[in-house]
């Protein structure tokens, strides 16, 4: 049975890396002495080593060791043998390209479906959806496919924010972009605000955190979802 946390963002404004999630992570990874970190998304282009070191320091606060997947010779085996897995944010195109390039997309899906505890933040949450097509990231590299893990039967739009009423900028709002997505794709999209996360456990999906989320379905008016709502109805 899947055991998954999908956070909109790793970091809240004015707060430390993963700080707001640490109490939840302590419980989520309670049975893990160590976890596997996948640093492929490389935020701001930082190296795998540098990114992993940041995560090592953070998880040390809750007494969990962290190893980066780049330290292993066989990344598929590293996934299968991991006590827990964390994929952090950065660029989703790069993350997806690297997962395919290292031939671990399927292994990752199968492993997480058997219950290995998983944490995704930002790009690491995007890939839990059916496709990466509702990412906000720039297409800095060309992945062989946009299809992702499908651990949830819909897509996420992370760092979601409503259009500011007073904005004079003419670039598309997030809502306009998601509506364009629905011209060509049928599955729902959940706009997850910074500070929100999904908790998937015992076959159920809950919206956690203090903020509402916004559910977009093809040809339907978007609806606000309140915290603690069970989301298995979305498909």
Positions marked catalytic: 122, 137, 159
Residue 185 makes contact with a second copy by CB under 8 A? yes
User: Cβ contacts of residue 137 below 8 Å, gap of 6+?
Assistant: 91, 92, 93, 123
Q: Residue ranges of the alpha helices (H) in the chain? A: 22-28, 48-60, 75-81, 92-101, 105-113, 123-126, 174-181
Rule CB under 8 A: is residue 172 a binding residue for a second copy? yes
Whichever of 52 and 135 has its CB closer to a second copy, that residue is: 135
CB 32 within 8 A of CB 228: no
For residues 37 and 93, which CB has a smaller minimum distance to a second copy in the complex?
Answer: 93
Contacts of residue 192, defined as CB under 8 A and 6 or more positions apart, other chains included, come to: 6, 8, 125, 156, 157, 158, 160, 198, 213
When the beta carbons of 42 and 54 are compared against a second copy, the nearer one is 42
CB 234 within 8 A of CB 215: yes
Which of 134, 192, 216, 225 is the binder for a second copy (CB under 8 A)? 134
In the window 17-56, what residues touch a second copy (CB under 8 A)? 42-45
How near is the Cβ of 19 to a second copy at its closest, in Å? 12
Rule CB under 8 A: which residues touch a second copy?
Answer: 9, 11-14, 42-45, 90-91, 93-94, 132-142, 145-146, 159, 161, 168-172, 176-185, 194
């Amino acid at each position: 049975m899947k055991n998954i946390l999908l956070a909109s963002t790793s970091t809240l404004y004015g707060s430390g890396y993963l700080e707001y999630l640490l109490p939840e992570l302590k419980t989520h990874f309670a049975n893990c002495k160590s976890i596997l970190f996948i640093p492929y998304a490389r935020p701001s282009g930082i190296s795998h080593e540098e990114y992993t070191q940041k995560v090592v320091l953070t998880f040390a606060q809750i007494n969990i060791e962290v190893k980066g997947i780049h330290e292993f010779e066989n990344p598929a085996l590293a996934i299968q043998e991991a006590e827990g897995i964390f994929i952090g944010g950065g660029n989703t195109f790069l993350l997806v390209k690297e997962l395919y390039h290292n031939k671990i997309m399927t292994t990752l899906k199968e492993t997480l479906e058997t219950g290995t505890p998983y944490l995704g933040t930002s790009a690491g949450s995007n890939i839990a959806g059916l496709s990466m097509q509702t990412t906000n990231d720039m297409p800095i590299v060309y992945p062989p496919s946009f299809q992702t893990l499908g651990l949830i039967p819909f897509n996420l739009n992370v760092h979601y924010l409503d259009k500011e009423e007073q904005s004079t900028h003419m670039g598309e709002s997030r809502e306009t972009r998601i509506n364009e997505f629905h011209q060509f794709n049928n599955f729902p999209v959940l706009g997850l605000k910074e500070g929100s996360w999904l908790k998937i456990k015992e076959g159920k999906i809950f919206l956690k955190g203090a903020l509402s989320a916004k559910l977009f379905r093809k040809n339907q008016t978007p609806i606000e979802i309140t915290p603690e709502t069970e989301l298995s109805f979305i498909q």
